[in-house]
């Protein structure tokens, strides 16, 4: 009959091997994630550059925007042609304005808007963050729900969403379809 200490050593060895295997897998996944993030960044840059090249200087008035000065003040005298705005990794959420396309937002924010646009299109009411998490196929756990709540609150603060009741979100007045902000 094996000793208690011997059995404990066997369990300790098995646990250490499992930890070592998981560490190796985590390192592999981290490396794969870094590669995928780099590829995503390169595609984002490519889309931004193509958008800049394809933008026509002196185009339609819809392409003209007020430039923001450092410090947040805008001037009407200084205008520039606005190429299609591309989402950047860890991008800021711009304040919604008439004609601003959803592509100005990162994919996560666009996904929230699309879910709420579907609700509006189907004549359904506002959505909670728990319902969003479930709709996106996420685990409905506090961390995921709070991440969605933070993003939704940021969209409310920037004028993309409205919060008619605490914790319930819908598209803000004037914001519609994924093709544009109007």
Q: Where are the beta strands (DSSP E) in the chain?
A: 64-68, 74-81, 127-128, 161-165, 168-171
CA distance 182 to 176: 6
Query: Which one of 42, 69, 86 terminates a domain?
Result: 86
Do 99 and 130 share a structural domain? yes
Report the chain's mean pLDDT, rounded to a whole number.
Answer: 79
Report the percent of the chain where pLDDT is more than 70. Answer: 76
For 100, the enclosing helix (H) or strand (E) is: none
Do 100 and 39 share a structural domain? no
Q: Given this model, what pLDDT does residue 181 score?
A: 45
If pLDDT is split at 50, 70 and 90, which confidence band does 73 have? Answer: very low
Do 166 and 178 share a structural domain? yes
Q: In the chain, how many domains are there?
A: 3
Does residue 21 carry a pLDDT above 80? Answer: yes
Do 49 and 95 share a structural domain? no
| CATH number reported for the structural domain that contains residue 120 in this entry | 1.10.10.10
Do 100 and 48 share a structural domain? no
CA distance 107 to 56: 26
What is the average pLDDT across 23-27?
90
Residue with tokens 């937002």: 105
Range of the domain at 160: 87-182
Do 142 and 74 share a structural domain? no
Do 6 and 94 share a structural domain? no
CA distance 111 to 99: 19
Higher pLDDT, 91 or 94: 94
Q: Given this model, what pLDDT does residue 175 score?
A: 82
Helices 107-121 and 142-157: angle between axes, nearest 10 degrees: 80
Do 91 and 74 share a structural domain? no
Do 157 and 118 share a structural domain? yes
Do 118 and 165 share a structural domain? yes
Do 92 and 76 share a structural domain? no
Do 120 and 32 share a structural domain? no
């Amino acid at each position: 009959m094996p000793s208690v200490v011997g059995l404990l050593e066997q369990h300790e060895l098995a646990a250490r091997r499992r930890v070592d295997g998981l560490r190796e897998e985590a390192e592999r996944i981290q490396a794969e994630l870094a590669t995928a993030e780099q590829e995503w960044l390169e595609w984002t840059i490519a889309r931004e550059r193509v958008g800049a090249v394809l933008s026509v200087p002196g185009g339609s008035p819809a392409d003209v925007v007020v430039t923001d000065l450092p410090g947040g003040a805008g001037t009407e005298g200084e205008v520039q042609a606005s190429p299609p705005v591309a989402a950047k990794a860890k991008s800021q959420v711009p304040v919604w304005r008439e004609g601003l396309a959803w592509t100005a937002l990162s994919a996560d924010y666009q996904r929230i808007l699309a879910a709420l646009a579907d609700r509006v299109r189907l004549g359904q009411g506002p959505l909670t963050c728990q319902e969003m998490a479930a709709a996106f196929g996420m685990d409905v756990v506090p961390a995921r729900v709070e991440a969605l709540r933070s993003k939704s609150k940021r969209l409310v603060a920037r004028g993309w969403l409205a919060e008619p009741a605490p914790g319930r979100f819908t598209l803000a007045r004037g914001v519609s379809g994924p093709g544009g902000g109007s």
